[in-house]
Amino acid sequence: MDFTFTEDQLLFQESVRDFLVNEVTTESIRALWETKTGRSDELWQQLVEMGLVGMTVPEAQGGLGMNAVDFVLLAQECGYVALPENLVETVLVVAPLLAALPESDVRNEWLQKMAAGEARIAVGHSRNPLVSDAHTADAWLLQHNDEVHLVKARKKNMRRNESVDPSRRLHSIEWAPKPATCLAKGPAGKALWMQALNYGALGVAAQSLGLAQRMIDLSVKYTSERQQFGKPIGSFQAVKHHMANVAVQLEYAKAPVYRAAWSLANNHRHAGVHVSHAKIAATEAALLAARNGIQVHGAMGYTWEVDMHIFAKRAWALDGAWGDRAFHKTRVAKFVLKDNALIGASNTFVA
């Protein structure tokens, strides 16, 4: 198993980071909170033109035909800026789900529209029933038992649900399954929804890495500028330890996330367990970053005016998305507690 990133992948990450840091500022995020949709059509079009939206769409339908390994670093950068747009779910969940469906004109048409930026699709899962960005989607991919349904979006069928993160626009959807909207069912449909869950959890894990790093950076900057007794508070040992603990946990979370991306891209037999491990490790790092970051900010860390809360709230919101902590810990426990479990250093990176 080799999930070392190529030079091209690292250069792509750098260029996407530069773009996102310049275009997705905390000021622009706050401005979007005041708009009706909370989204920017202009920013979305820029993401389309960069090829990001169509990264995992097959080349035959106008995409780049890439996989989770190619996108995981970019998802991390989306977390670093707390990108409001639903890019990560589009690339890691919607496109692979559509691409894995049986060949049909409907499948091909929607993939082509997605890659060209002519349509957006949102997805609802039994473990993620509130649909993110349903209000800006042209169609919804919805689960009914083991069936995969592609339903035309209708505003009258959705109801807004508030999130702790103002950037997340979540909706419950009232709908009735019809034979005409069913694109897969039975064992094939069940496998597709499990794939969607794994990809969604990977997206959360990757974003959590970026969120943790951003909260570290914000905290280090603040503690370098804030002074007590004539010295920056960041020079005090107790403050240093708070952020060092986050940095260590973040570093240890990276390898499981990158392994999970490799496992999904290569259909590894234990991909689900790898994804659960990654989500647990990465979200715990982000939650620790939020807690310690707010603490070193002092009372200001809780206020609306300080940018810290933007990233902390995203970390809190994502923690329960695409499978809660109990689900993922149970999946890991079942694997490691088996009598014949392949665990230990010699089996960590066995293909």
What value does the mean pLDDT take over residues 302-326? 93
Compute the Cα dihedral for 329, 331, 336, 338 and give only its sign: positive
Task: Write b or e for each residue in 166-196: b if 16 or more Cβ atoms lie within 10 A of its Cβ, otherwise e.
Answer: bbbbbbebeeeeeeebebbbeeebbebbebb
Q: How many CB atoms lie within 10 A of CB 206?
A: 30
User: pTM of whole model > 0.75?
Assistant: yes
In a domain, 16, yes or no: no
pLDDT score of 351 = 61
Q: Where does residue 95 rank: exposed (0-12), middle (13-18), buried (19+ CB within 10 A)? A: buried
Range of the domain at 298: 188-347
pLDDT at 115: 95
Residue 119 in any domain: the answer is no
Domain holding 219: CATH number?
Answer: 1.20.140.10
Reported as type and span, the H/E element at residue 228 is strand 227-228
| Range of weakest confidence among 137-146, 153-162, 317-326, 339-348 | 339-348
Position 14 in a domain: no
Evaluate whether residue 288 is within a structural domain: yes
* Range in 179-193, 251-265, 307-321, 335-349 the model is least confident about: 335-349
Separation CA 182–CA 111 (nearest Å) = 17
Q: What is the pLDDT of residues 181-214, one digit of tens each?
A: 999 999 999 999 999 999 999 999 999 999 999 9
Q: What are phi and psi of 160, to 5 degrees?
A: -70, 135
Residue-level pLDDT at 199:
98
Say if 307 falls within a structural domain: yes
Domain contains 26: no
* Contact between residue 260 and residue 278 where contact means Cβ atoms under 8 Å apart: yes
Ranges 202-211, 275-284, 299-308: which has the least confidence: 299-308
pLDDT digits over 62-93, tens only?
Answer: 999 999 999 999 999 999 999 999 999 999 99
> What span, in angstroms and rounded, lies between the C-alpha atoms of 38 and 140?
19
Rounded Cα distance, 195 and 187, in Å: 12
Domain count, the chain: 1
pLDDT value of position 235 = 47
Give the pLDDT confidence of 109-126 residue by residue, as tens digits.
999 999 999 999 999 999
Quick: pLDDT tens for 223-240: 665 545 456 554 455 566
Residue 1 forms part of a structural domain: no
Q: What is d(CA 260, CA 272) in angstroms, rounded to the nearest whole number?
A: 8
At 329-342, the pLDDT tens digits run: 999 999 999 888 77
- Bridge partners, 187 (sequence order): none
Q: Has residue 231 been placed in a domain?
A: yes
What percent of the chain has pLDDT above 90?
A: 80
DSSP 101: S
Q: What percentage of the chain exceeds 70 in pLDDT?
A: 92
pLDDT of residue 221: 83
Instruction: Give the Cα separation of 93 and 236 in Å (integer).
Output: 44
